[in-house]
Amino acid sequence: MSRRSIVHIDLDTFFVSCERLLDKRLEGKPVLIGGTSDRGVVASCSYEARQYGIHSAMPMKLAKQLCPHAVVIRGNGGTYAKFSDAVTNGHKSCGKKLKNKPDFRFRSD
């Protein structure tokens, strides 16, 4: 009988983590990633920002009102794709066949 393992990686603040790897000054600060106009939405936010009631899909205008000192970053899909590839490839190197699902849940067969 083969053993099967399930790995779930919490990437709830993935975009913020990517930005923090690129800029250490963001550590410990409330960070909002998303559209920067009044009509934009929060794509991701740090746990420090969540303490102010901010969450993904919230209008950016409201998020900035709730936490005016937050660092707002437009985000860069290309950068996040590179980090995403690194996460995916890192798990593939563990020697098992992994299935990448859209929400980053990997299944090991």
pLDDT in tens, 49-97: 999 999 999 999 999 999 999 999 998 889 988 888 887 776 666 655 5
pTM comes to 0.75
Tell me if 51 is assigned to some domain.
yes
Tell me if 67 is assigned to some domain.
yes
User: Does residue 25 or residue 77 have the better pLDDT?
Assistant: 25
Tell me if 6 is assigned to some domain.
no
- Residue among 24, 77, 20 nearest 47 (CA): 20
Number of domains in the chain: 1
CATH, residue 65 = 3.40.1170.60
Structural domain of 54:
11-77+88-108
What is the predicted pLDDT for the residue at 99? Answer: 56
Tell me if 5 is assigned to some domain.
no
pLDDT range class, residue 10, cuts 50, 70, 90: low
Distances (CA, A) of 69 to 32, 82, 86, 96, 104: 10, 29, 31, 44, 31
Q: What is the mean pLDDT of residues 11-20?
A: 89
